[in-house]
A and B are shown apart, each in its own frame.
Chain A
């Protein structure tokens, strides 16, 4: 039967012209690729390039290729301390978002109709205001004696000394977790809301309770979403400089804050660029690590036949 149909088709002739015209399906992506090349790759290459030349009044000095800025940055113990701080702040904030986001996404998958829509609006609406505005909002809430939090706690008599949260790592973690929460919820929501409930029924049928079913079936099968959310939130937390600056206080610095200060305040573009190279490079390595661990944990999803 299938042989007959194959024979009936005219033999397909190989043609280079055809090959190029079809372009392996790449042509539709060309506008996006051009856009990315001009507005993303070119600026990044330029910026990173500044870390390897000497700048003289905004001009690249001729023949001034140098590794001096890069080695200066890499041998500075302060830089490593800040990198370490950036790293653990991002890891802790990302882990917190994961634990806060998972129940929300799970609840979403069990809601129906209008409740589901309302929850989705609640999840997405923070994205309508800029992160800057939300960081300022946290200053209002956490700030000093007159901050919303302290006022409430003091007036209800729960505490009698104001809590010092603003201008500490705690404030940075709180702000970062809240501001990046939607980026964790959305990928989790995608896998949890679409999941096939029969696997949970199968688990119950085999004698597992609701809790065992959740940890042995729901969570492992949502790992692709967890990995995606973790990588995304880690990247935005690790490279964010606004939140540490505003909520950590003037002397709280991270690697990303250093990049900002060297470039905008100190106007040492070469050192700023070298720091940016370190920031992007280490972030990239970390994302590679997360996706590699993720691929190992979800290897069942793409096993060969």
Chain B
């Protein structure tokens, strides 16, 4: 199992700087997701790994070997396209056999490996069909079989679930993760859907404006975002300007922080706030809007800040939300759960 390492990769198109100094490390056999909003450069980064895009600077290493100078057909890096790009003029079996045919493998070996690969994605009986005769989910499995039959060192997938409907998507995500674990291939995934990133990855690389803002395991990204963009993009977040004095914030409930004195931002997840009645230490405010979602109740609380603070509380059976306009106080459930970042990390 080969590691994949991206080292200070940059790319610009004319005046547009699409990628800036991207670094990424995927240990052998692990799944790393590139997560970010549309247009942040995910596809460009993935295409640079496959060799379809020639970066201006930086290297791509697979198993410790620099592959940056190799043409795309000699990289041993499999790419699953967004709409699968199955050859419409070839049958499913011929599609899967394509890479072996151009390598001039013996006919018997091709037949055996194609059978195995189709079996792996549970499509053994579909070899004679044309791609047009297959459903979206089946086409995706063909694309994966076509990629894996060559035993590549790295598997790259660009938003592979976009073309599928919501129901099928979840099934396929779980199936794919199981398949990757079974064959143990280093995989890089592109998505703009944070739930998908959470399901599939060992590590998430959150991208923003052509840069990788944070690379960490999914829960760590959620609990310890390194920028306010990451905090806001993964789950929801209240972002408040604060001052740090002598190792603590100047908030109603002081939060300890190793940051130096001066301006900072504090990030609080909605579920780390609780709404309590009356006047206790905390953020005094007024219920602006309440939604009961079944398991939770979501409040927007006006605390005199430019934006209302969001709160998410578990709902006790039979209880309902507080009425709009009720005076309440917001308290932190845990001061450890609040994150204090420097102002520099506070761009959204």
Q: Specify which chain A residues have a CB less than 8 angstroms from the CB of B150 in the assembled complex.
A: 206-207
Size of the chain B interface, CB-CB below 8 angstroms: 28
The yes or no answer to B85 lying at the interface (CB within 8 A) is yes
Q: Which residues of B contact A19 (CB under 8 A)?
A: none
The verdict on B78 contacting chain A, using a C-beta distance below 8 Å, is: yes
B229: A residues at CB distance < 8 A:
none
Contact call B102/A221, Cβ cutoff below 8 A: no
Interface residues in B106-149 by Cβ distance below 8 A to A read 130, 132-133, 146-147
Q: Binary interface profile of A, 202-232, with partner B (CB < 8 Å = 1, else 0)?
A: 1111111100100011001101000000000
Q: In the bound complex, do residue A198 and residue B81 qualify as a contact, i.e. CB atoms below 8 Å apart?
A: yes
B89 at the interface (CB under 8 A from A): yes
CA gap between A216 and B87 in the complex, in Å: 10
Which residues of B (68-124) have their CB < 8 Å from a CB of A?
71-75, 77-79, 81, 83, 85, 87-90, 98-99, 102-103
Task: Give the distance in Å from the alpha carbon of A205 to the alpha carbon of B102 in the complex.
Answer: 11
Is B50 among interface residues, defined by CB-CB distance under 8 A? yes
Q: In the complex, how many angstroms separate the beta carbon of A289 from the nearest chain B beta carbon?
A: 21
A206 cross-chain contacts in B, Cβ below 8 A: 73, 98-99, 102, 146-147, 150
B73–A207 touching, CB < 8 Å: yes
Known A-B contacts A207-B103, A216-B102, A303-B133; the reply to A202 vs B88 at CB < 8 A is no
Given A206-B99, A206-B146, A201 and B72 touching (CB < 8 A)? yes
Complex interface residues of chain A between 246 and 305 (CB less than 8 A to chain B): 298, 300-301, 303-305
Q: Which residues of B contact A65 (CB under 8 A)?
A: none
Q: Which residues of A contact B130 (CB under 8 A)?
A: 300, 303
Closest Cβ neighbor of A201 among chain B residues: B52
- Do B89 and A300 touch across chains, with their CB atoms under 8 A apart? yes
Q: Is the CB of A209 within 8 A of B73?
A: yes
Is chain A's interface secondary structure helix, strand, loop, or mixed overall?
helix
Looking at B50, B73, B99, B147, which has the most chain A CB atoms within 10 Å of its CB? Answer: B73
> Min CB distance, A235 to chain B, in Å?
26
State A220–B133 Cα separation when bound (angstroms): 19
Establish whether residues B88 and A300, one from each chain, have CB atoms under 8 Å apart when the complex forms: yes
A-facing residues in B241-281 (Cβ within 8 Å): none
> Could you tell me if A205 and B89 are in contact, using CB atoms closer than 8 angstroms?
no
Q: A216-B102, A304-B133, A305-B133 are in contact. Are A208 and B87 (CB under 8 A)?
A: no
Chain A neighbourhood of B74, CB < 8 A = 207
Contact partners of A212 in chain B: CB under 8 A: 102
Q: Which residues of chain A have C-beta atoms less than 8 A from B87's C-beta?
A: 199, 202-203, 217, 221
Residue pair A199, B85 in contact (C-beta under 8 Å): yes
The CA-CA distance from A291 to B79 in the complex, in Å, is 36
Interface centre among B71, B87, B99 (most CB of A within 10 A): B87
CA distance in complex: A93, B78 (Å): 43
A208 and B78 alpha carbons, distance in the complex (Å): 13
Contact B85–A208 (Cβ < 8 Å)? no
| A225 → chain B closest CB, angstroms | 13
Smallest CB gap from B156: residue in A: A205
Q: Can you list 21 pairs linking A and B with CB atoms under 8 Å apart?
A: A201-B50, A202-B85, A203-B98, A204-B72, A205-B75, A206-B99, A206-B150, A207-B74, A207-B99, A207-B150, A208-B102, A209-B102, A217-B87, A220-B89, A300-B89, A300-B130, A300-B132, A301-B89, A301-B132, A303-B133, A305-B132
What is B's interface to A at a CB cutoff of 8 Å?
50-52, 71-75, 77-79, 81, 83, 85, 87-90, 98-99, 102-103, 130, 132-133, 146-147, 150
Closest 8 CB pairs of A and B: A206-B99, A202-B85, A208-B102, A204-B72, A198-B85, A205-B79, A204-B73, A220-B89
